[in-house]
Amino acid sequence: MTTKIILVTGASRGFGRMAANALAQSGHTVYASMRETAGRNAPRVAAAAAYAKEQGVDLRTIELDVSTQASVDAGVAKIIAEHRRIDVIVHNAGHRVFGPAEAFTAEQLAQIYDVNVLSTQRVNRAALPHMRKQGQGLLVWVSSSSSAGGTLPYLSPYFAAKAGMDALAVQYARELSRWGIETSIIVPGSYAQGADHFARAGKPADEARVAEYEAGPYSRFGTQIQEAFGRILPDNANPGAVAGAIVCVVDTPFGERPFRVHVDPGEDGASVAFAVIDRVRNEMLNRTGFSDLRKPRVVAPRE
């Protein structure tokens, strides 16, 4: 197996940290990106270094703030300077929020969209010129089953942003296949343990609106939603399965990688809905004579 140079965004914790560790264990050179590596994330940088030394793997942390193009450009440039290539991008950076949609300000929604969607655009603009020159590459997008499966209220801004990211991933796949760049979309569901779904979720800025909901017909509704998740999600589901799915995709040969991989212990129906949605989209490509866009083309590197 050829060692790949991989950038994982949002790798300070959760799915990103698990994926970075697992990819390094699989023999790849992995850059686990995070911001404030000399500040609040310094303990996580130290932990990653200790893990790499103990396990004998090539796991490196890199300063990269996905909210600024300059930081993204600098991070990707550092990787290119050290290896003269970048083979895989794992779009994992994201932020979840919880509360009544009306209580979030428009500025908060813009920020949530920025982290979950615009961050991927910044990274793509920095990395794709190198991948196109190489004539091969892989984009792995960590989406959400909420983009097509059954959903519960009070997660509206996050769900809307993830749906936007998923739609962007699909269109990028078509526009990159002729450059030899492959796409795989990982679709995790919710997990009862280990994924920090609610513990670290952002809250609405308009506390007065939240109070109105609590004083009205939605009293204790947030608590009821969390209890409902607890009832339908298996306690023993391992969020590490998401990292395992990412490793499997990366280690699959070029041209054979699945377009979508579902890792959903709650079985919210996304695997059924996306099967129909993706089929309809593919049929449009077939009808209009663009069926070749469904698979990456073998392309020679450019000088």
pLDDT band at residue 78 using 50, 70 and 90 as cut-offs: very high
Tokens of 146: 């909420």
Tell me what percent of the residues of the chain surpass a pLDDT of 90.
83
Contacts of 216 (CB under 8 A, 6+ apart): none
Does residue 148 carry a pLDDT above 70? yes
Separation CA 303–CA 300 (nearest Å): 10
**All domains in the chain, ordered by first residue:** 5-294 (3.40.50.720)
Q: pLDDT tens digits for 86-113?
A: 999 999 998 889 999 999 999 999 999 9
Q: Are 86 and 80 in contact (CB under 8 A)?
A: yes
Q: Are 2 and 73 in contact (CB under 8 A)?
A: no
Q: pLDDT tens digits for 201-256?
A: 889 999 999 999 999 999 999 999 988 888 888 877 888 999 999 999 999 999 99
What is the distance, to the nearest Å, from the Cα of residue 169 to the centroid of all Cα atoms in its chain?
10
pLDDT value at residue 179: 97
**Burial of 219 from C-beta contacts in 10 A (0-12 / 13-18 / 19+):** exposed
DSSP reduced 3-state for 13: coil
Q: pLDDT tens digits for 35-59?
A: 887 788 899 999 999 999 999 999 9
The partner residues of 183 in beta bridges, in order of sequence, read: 139
Tokens of 7: 């950038």
pLDDT value at residue 207: 97
More confident residue, 2 or 72: 72
**Burial of 280 from C-beta contacts in 10 A (0-12 / 13-18 / 19+):** exposed
Amino acid at 219: S
Within 10 Å of residue 303's Cβ, how many Cβ atoms? 3
Enzyme catalytic residues? 158
CA distances from 197 to 49, 85, 242, 286 (A): 26, 34, 14, 39
Tell me what percent of the residues of the chain surpass a pLDDT of 70.
97
DSSP reduced 3-state for 144: coil
Q: 3-state secondary structure string, 63-83?
A: ECCCCCHHHHHHHHHHHHHHH
pLDDT band at residue 1 using 50, 70 and 90 as cut-offs: low
The partner residues of 29 in beta bridges, in order of sequence, read: 5
Degrees to nearest 5, angle at CA 235 with 184 and 25:
45
